[in-house]
Structures are given as C-alpha cells and as structure tokens.
Amino acid sequence: MKQVLKSNEDRMIKAVEHLNSEFAAIRAGRANPAVLDKVKVDYYGTPTSINQLAAVSVSEARTLVIQPWDASVVRSIEKAIQTSDIGINPQSDGKVIRMIFPPLTEDRRKEIVKEVAKMGEDAKVAIRSIRRDIMDKFKQMKKNGELTEDDVKQAEKKAQDITDKYIKQIDADTSAKQKQIMEI
C-alpha cells in the first residue's frame, strides 16, 4: 500500500515539475532563456537544443543574446528560431544573435493569464487521473484479498490527502505566475 502511494506521489511531483517548466517557457515580456528550450536546430543532421550549441544569456531585461560556439551554425539557429512558435524575429550580425522581447500589451497579458490558467487546470486533471489510478489499484488489491475494507478506506484517505496537497501547490504556482504576468 505504501509503495503504491509513494510511486504515485512521485508521478504527482513530476506533474507539478512539468507544469513549472511549462511556466518557465512562457514568453512574458522579459527575456528568458527557457523560451528556447523547445527549439531544436538541425546540427549536422541531428536535432540539437540551442543551449548545447551556444551560450544563451540575458544582456538587458528584454534582450536575449545567443552566442554560438561554432560560427557556422548561426544561420541554422536563426532559421530554427524563426520557424518556431516563439513569435520573435532574431537579429544576427553573423557572430551573435539577439532577440528583443517587445513589451506586453494588456490584451496579450490577459491571453497569457488564460493560458497559464489552462496549464494549471491540465496539471490538476493529471493529478486527479493519478489519484484515480491509485484508487483503482487499491480496489484491485482488495479484490485480490491483499487489503481489507479498513485498509482501503485508510489508503484512499491518504491518497486524497496527497492529491489535495499537490492541487494546492498547483493553485499556488498558477496564481503566482498569473500575478507575475500582470505585474510585468
């Protein structure tokens, strides 16, 4: 019983971590290297992340600087950024690529806040799905005679407590991110 709870709690932790990595990749007016995490560059036939090909840094609040270690890959990085869904055109001088993030409009802020709320809701659905898996596992264990009725009730209460803990964490992370976006 404890093993089932522990393994599924680990799944819940991963769901929360995934949500926070999604939040980090949101383009919210400030330069953030995490927006490039999903962009892959064709480097000698292999899709490679930008942070493996170049030094990525924030030079000013709204400027991201990408300095490739191999000058021959500058054009490939630039093309990969243009074809991605980031929505910012890179500016290159042949050695360094700069990405200037425009300030957010009020409409764009509201749109991002809605996206954040949807991501939070999707994470809560994932947590509840994990809880459902736990409950099904306990019912199966009872059916097989491994657990008694009291054990199942106690285990279901523990599973619900763990679920509530991570739902609260998701709510807190989501509202913090929404507040951060509205303050930018």
CATH number assigned to the domain comprising residue 134? 1.10.132.20
The residue type of 26 is I
Same domain, 96 and 109: no
Report residue 5 as tokens: 């709870």
Domain that holds residue 168: 2-24+105-183
The whole-number pLDDT of residue 10 equals: 93
Reading phi first (left if > 0) and then psi (alpha if -120 to 50, else beta), residue 171 is in: alpha
The whole-number pLDDT of residue 86 equals: 78
Alpha helix (H) residue ranges in the chain: 2-24, 50-53, 74-83, 106-143, 149-183
What total of structural domains would you count in the chain?
A: 2
* pTM, rounded to two decimals: 0.71
Phi/psi of residue 102, each to 5°? -75, 155
The residue type of 86 is I
Identify the domain boundary among 82, 100, 118.
100
Per-residue pLDDT tens listing for the chain (184 residues): 788 889 999 999 999 999 998 887 776 667 778 888 888 998 888 898 988 899 999 888 788 899 999 888 999 999 999 888 777 888 988 889 999 888 878 888 888 899 999 999 999 999 999 999 999 999 998 899 888 889 889 989 999 999 999 999 999 999 999 998 887 6
The whole-number pLDDT of residue 1 equals: 79
Q: Where residue 78 sits, what CATH number does that domain have? A: 3.30.1360.40
Same domain, 64 and 132: no
Q: Which of 146, 170, 169, 161 is nearest to 5 (CA)?
A: 161
Burial of 107 (0-12, 13-18, 19+ CB in 10 A): exposed
Identify the domain boundary among 100, 125, 140.
100
The whole-number pLDDT of residue 174 equals: 94
Same domain, 19 and 58: no
Same domain, 109 and 82: no
Q: Which of 80, 163, 89, 63 is nearest to 123 (CA)?
A: 163
The whole-number pLDDT of residue 28 equals: 67
**Dihedral of the alpha carbons of 129, 135, 140, 141, in degrees to the nearest 10:** 130
Q: Please report the DSSP string for 58-83 in residue order.
A: EEETTEEEEEESSGGGHHHHHHHHHH
Report residue 154 as tokens: 């106690």
- Spatial separation of the C-alpha atoms in residues 145 and 100, rounded to whole Å: 63
